[in-house]
């Protein structure tokens, strides 16, 4: 049954439905009037939920002890870059699902002097990696090899990246930066309920390697909620970094242990791979939307380019008139997401290795052509539907603003929860399974159901395409807010919604983060939505337009900080997690 046929007409300028309720047979005059009031009410949008306020500096992230360590660094006179590095190292101890030394990520920043920055510390494929390394003789994907074996690990960029962050822009020395993480690893920290549950759920996965079991299941048991977890090997690794800097990781004793672990367990990473690793400062993608500018990562993150496309497609639309989370609003965002992900998955890859037509992809002329593909009313179609089955997975995001308004946003990850599950013997840190972010077999789906192609095929030394998008937003050229989240491809659409929640709906950082979310990524061709994101009426309306809808438990786990009109900082860590926003 299609209740909503012929209920809107196509606006020739935008290609979008302009009148939203024309032709709904049962709609009375009173119905229309009450909807008009509803729209007026919703435009002032705030629910009245308060974030955390602070005057001098603030940090927000997924785990309280690490965030507190960052705030203490600010109080001791460190700047946002120092505090971000402190949090990055501390999370490697207290938040092992995603905090890491053995993974990689991105930083965006806005310095007090008004310079936008993007640091790429994404992993690289080892030199021995081959395009078809995850395929059998018949050309089929070998299940699990790109996610759970040692072959899944890319050369980690986290240590190089975190050092760059504070050595280039911070004010403190490496002993100061590493001290909190060393203390947390050596003296231990009380296991949170979520860590306890997560370790319980991942027992089988994490006990495949004796070195991992020894760290996370001391005495063979899952650490109880509230018990103290000490990680002496990790404390040793962090002390090495404190004494000798990143060379300890990429050339010293840690490198030796890592390559030995590789040799013993069928991995590819060599001493040469480690010695060659470099994080890179690259130009960020700057996106203009109304009076906002967004500072987002460029390749090898797809986030900046995809957001630029989506926001260009959405900017001319009367989003506020549509009504928050109305069927028309969802339709508009979803169709923009569909087009952007189709381009992402086909064109984007590491631009040090492949030609990516970035300028064209974000040009007005090209996006005008793309806009014409958006159907006015019915759901668009993504050809060749295929269903990936996203497993539970984790990445993490944190951000810091200091009293001088240096703004630092970092998203980093092991990819899946606990990466490929192997702790490098004698070091206490886990290895990533980021090789799965390449298109292991162009055209087939990865851990996140993403179908990707040649531009993101495996090659030695190449960085795998990412969705991680630490975001900084300026309003009229001044810092307005920063936000980011884990969630694989949903990172991009979560950031899009949080941005619109603030820019179009006037929500504060807490309201914008807590609001329910939805997601579309071209293929599989379905809208995923969080429980309670859409009313039954809206669901009916959307399925009437031809959308396939799938309810999921939750999407992302964001953290963000905004400036208020009076200059106070306001922060929030997503209610979907157990994080913290704190300041002084
Ligand atoms: O770089 C990427 O896009 C993925 N490796 C991110 C993984 C992720 O966000 C998992 N978290 N929920």
Positions marked active-site: 395
Note the helical H segments in 271-326: 271-276, 303-314, 319-322
- For residue 383, the model assigns a pLDDT of 64
- For residue 24, the model assigns a pLDDT of 31
CA–CA distance, 62 with 16 (Å, rounded to integer): 38
Render each residue's pLDDT in the chain as its tens digit; 584 residues. Answer: 222 222 222 233 333 322 222 223 333 333 433 444 333 333 334 448 999 999 999 999 999 999 999 999 999 999 999 999 999 999 999 999 999 999 999 999 999 999 999 999 999 999 999 999 999 999 999 999 999 999 999 999 999 999 999 999 999 999 999 999 999 999 999 999 999 999 999 999 999 999 999 999 999 999 999 999 999 999 999 999 999 999 999 999 999 999 999 999 999 999 999 999 999 999 999 999 999 999 999 999 999 999 999 999 999 999 999 999 999 999 999 999 999 999 999 999 999 999 999 999 999 999 999 998 888 888 888 763 332 233 344 799 999 999 999 999 999 999 999 999 999 999 999 999 999 999 998 888 888 888 888 999 999 999 999 999 999 999 999 999 999 999 999 999 999 999 999 999 999 999 999 999 999 999 899 999 999 999 999 999 999 999 999 999 999 999 999 999 999 999 999 999 999 999 99
User: Ligand 1 centre from 535 Cα, in Å?
Assistant: 29
**Could you tell which of 434, 438, 468 is best to mutate to test the pocket of ligand 1, judged by most ligand atoms within 8 Å of the CB?**
468
Q: Which atom of ligand 1 is closest in space to residue 436's alpha carbon?
A: 5
Q: Which atom of ligand 1 is closest in space to residue 490's alpha carbon?
A: 9
- For residue 447, the model assigns a pLDDT of 85
Which residue, among 369, 366, 364, 314, has the nearest Cα to 337 in the 3D structure?
A: 314
User: Ligand 1 centre from 435 Cα, in Å?
Assistant: 12
Dihedral of the CA atoms 321, 327, 328, 334 (nearest 10)?
Answer: 130
| Residue 167 contacts residue 173 (beta carbons within 8 Å) | no
Angle at alpha carbon of residue 228, lines to 224 and 233, rounded to 5°: 115
What is this structure's pTM?
0.91
- For residue 287, the model assigns a pLDDT of 98
The 3-class secondary structure across 377-419, one letter per residue, is CCCCCCCCCCCCCCCCECCEEEEEECCCCCEEEEEEECCECCC
Tokens at 55, concatenated: 């005057």
Tokens at 556, concatenated: 């992302």
Inter-CA distances, 75 with 82, 83, 402, Å: 11, 10, 10
CA–CA distance, 101 with 234 (Å, rounded to integer): 10
If you take atom 4 of ligand 1, which residue's CA is the nearest one? 488
Note if the bond before 300 is cis, omega within 30 degrees: yes
- For residue 100, the model assigns a pLDDT of 98
User: Any residues with Cβ below 6 Å from ligand 1, and which?
Assistant: 393-395, 413, 415, 434, 437, 466-468, 486-488, 491
The 3-class secondary structure across 84-152, one letter per residue, is HHHHHHHHHHHCCCCCCCCCEEEEEEECCCCCEEEEEECCECCCCCCCCCCECCCCCECCCHHHHCHHH
Instruction: Tell me the domain boundaries of the chain.
Output: 285-395+467-583
Inter-CA distances, 243 with 167, 232, 450, Å: 15, 16, 41
Which residues make Cβ contacts (< 8 Å) with residue 288, sequence separation at least 6?
A: none
**Could you tell which of 107, 299, 395, 519 is best to mutate to test the pocket of ligand 1, judged by most ligand atoms within 8 Å of the CB?**
395
Which CATH class, in words, describes the domain spanning 285-395+467-583?
Answer: alpha beta
Where on the phi/psi map is residue 257: left (φ > 0), alpha (ψ -120 to 50), or beta?
alpha
User: Ligand 1 centre from 488 Cα, in Å?
Assistant: 4
Give SS3 for 463: strand
Give SS3 for 12: coil
Which residues make Cβ contacts (< 8 Å) with residue 391, sequence separation at least 6?
A: 416, 447
Residues in the chain: 584
Strands 285-289 and 292-296: antiparallel
């Amino acid at each position: 049954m299609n209740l909503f046929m012929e209920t809107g007409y196509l606006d020739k300028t935008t290609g979008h439905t302009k009148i939203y309720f024309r032709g709904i047979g049962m709609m009375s005059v009173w119905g229309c009037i009450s909807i008009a009031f509803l729209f007026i009410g919703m435009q002032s949008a705030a629910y009245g939920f308060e974030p955390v306020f602070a005057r001098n500096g603030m940090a927000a992230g997924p785990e309280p002890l690490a965030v507190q360590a960052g705030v203490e660094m600010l109080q001791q006179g460190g700047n946002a870059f120092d505090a971000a590095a402190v949090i990055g190292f501390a999370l490697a101890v207290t938040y092992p699902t995603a905090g890491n030394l053995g993974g990689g990520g991105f930083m965006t920043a806005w310095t007090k002097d008004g310079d936008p920055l993007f640091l790429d510390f994404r992993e690289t494929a080892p030199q021995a990696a081959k395009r078809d390394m995850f395929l059998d003789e018949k050309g089929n994907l070998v299940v699990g090899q790109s996610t759970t074996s040692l072959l899944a690990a890319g050369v980690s960029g986290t240590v190089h990246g975190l050092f760059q962050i504070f050595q280039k822009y911070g004010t403190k020395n490496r002993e100061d930066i590493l001290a909190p993480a060393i203390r947390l690893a050596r003296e231990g920290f009380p296991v949170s309920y979520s860590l306890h549950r997560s370790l319980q759920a991942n027992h089988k996965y994490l006990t495949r390697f004796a070195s991992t079991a020894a760290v996370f299941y001391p005495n063979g048991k899952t650490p109880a909620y509230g018990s103290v977890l000490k990680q002496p090997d990790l404390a040793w690794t962090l002390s090495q970094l404190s004494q000798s800097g990143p060379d300890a990781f990429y050339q010293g004793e840690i490198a030796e242990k890592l390559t030995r672990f590789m040799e013993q367990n069928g991995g590819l990473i060599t001493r040469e791979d480690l010695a060659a690793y470099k994080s890179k400062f690259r130009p960020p993608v700057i996106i203009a939307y109304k009076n906002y500018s967004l500072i987002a990562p460029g390749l090898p993150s797809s986030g900046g380019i995809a957001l630029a496309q989506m926001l260009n497609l959405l900017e001319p639309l009367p989003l506020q008139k549509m009504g928050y989370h109305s069927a028309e609003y969802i339709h508009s965002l979803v169709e923009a997401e569909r087009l952007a992900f189709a381009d992402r998955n086909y064109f984007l890859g590491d631009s040090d290795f492949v030609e990516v037509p970035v300028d064209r992809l974000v040009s007005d002329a090209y996006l005008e052509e793309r806009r014409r593909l958006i159907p006015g009313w019915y759901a668009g179609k993504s050809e060749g539907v295929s269903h990936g089955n996203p497993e539970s997975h984790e990445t993490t995001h944190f951000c810091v603003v200091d009293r001088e308004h240096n703004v630092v946003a970092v998203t980093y990850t092991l990819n899946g929860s606990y990466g490929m599950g192997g702790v490098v013997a004698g070091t206490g840190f886990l290895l990533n399974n980021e090789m799965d972010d390449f298109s292991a077999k162009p055209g087939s789906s990865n851990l996140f159901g993403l179908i990707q192609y040649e531009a993101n095929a495996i090659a030695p030394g190449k960085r795998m395409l990412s969705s991680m998008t630490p975001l900084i937003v300026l309003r009229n050229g001044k810092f307005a807010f920063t936000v980011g989240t884990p969630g694989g491809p949903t990172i991009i659409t979560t950031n899009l919604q949080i941005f619109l929640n603030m820019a179009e709906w006037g929500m504060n950082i807490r309201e914008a983060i807590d609001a329910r979310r939805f997601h579309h990524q071209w293929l599989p061709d379905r809208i995923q939505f969080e429980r309670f994101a859409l009313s039954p009426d809206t669901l009916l309306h959307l399925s009437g337009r031809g959308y396939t809808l799938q309810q999921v438990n939750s999407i992302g786990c964001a953290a963000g900080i905004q400036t208020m009109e009076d200059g106070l900082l306001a922060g929030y860590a997503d209610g979907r997690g157990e994080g913290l926003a704190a300041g002084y």
